[in-house]
Amino acid sequence: MLGRLNHVAIAVPDLANATAVYRDVLGAAVSQPQPLPEHGVTVVFVDLDNTRIELLEPLGEDSPIARFLERCPVGGMHHICYEVDDIAAARERLAAHGARVLGDGEPKIGAHGKPVLFLHPKDFAGTLIEIEQV
């Protein structure tokens, strides 16, 4: 069911600073900031040869990233995103195995313009999982 690793997401308290570290210190190519109000975040993608890093900054006080940063003020890994061919089929397979899909269970459009779902971290060894249809 799982395809390739799409990205690893890191929550950051200061997106401009984190972007500068990846660009200037680590020498990586970084995207422009992209606000995603429907997800409550602003994102920057760090392009690597084999995957991406997604830097997430809260967009608004009720952002899930704001809540994450309350617990981890310096930031840290937030989720891992895997690609799937068919998000509806993946959702059905996961539900059949007892995995919990977060939210209303319906895919939302993610930062890449593709359908995404998030899976409860308690069902996946404490890791929040995002699946994205390719």
Query: Rounded to whole angstroms, how far apart are CA atoms 28 and 48?
Result: 7
Pick the catalytic residue: 54, 57, 130, 132?
130
DSSP 22: I
* CA 126 and chain centroid, separation: 15
> What's the gap between Cα 64 and its chain centre?
11
In angstroms, rounded to a whole number, what is the distance separating the alpha carbons of residues 62 and 25?
A: 32
| 132 assigned to active site | no
Which active-site residues does the annotation give? 130
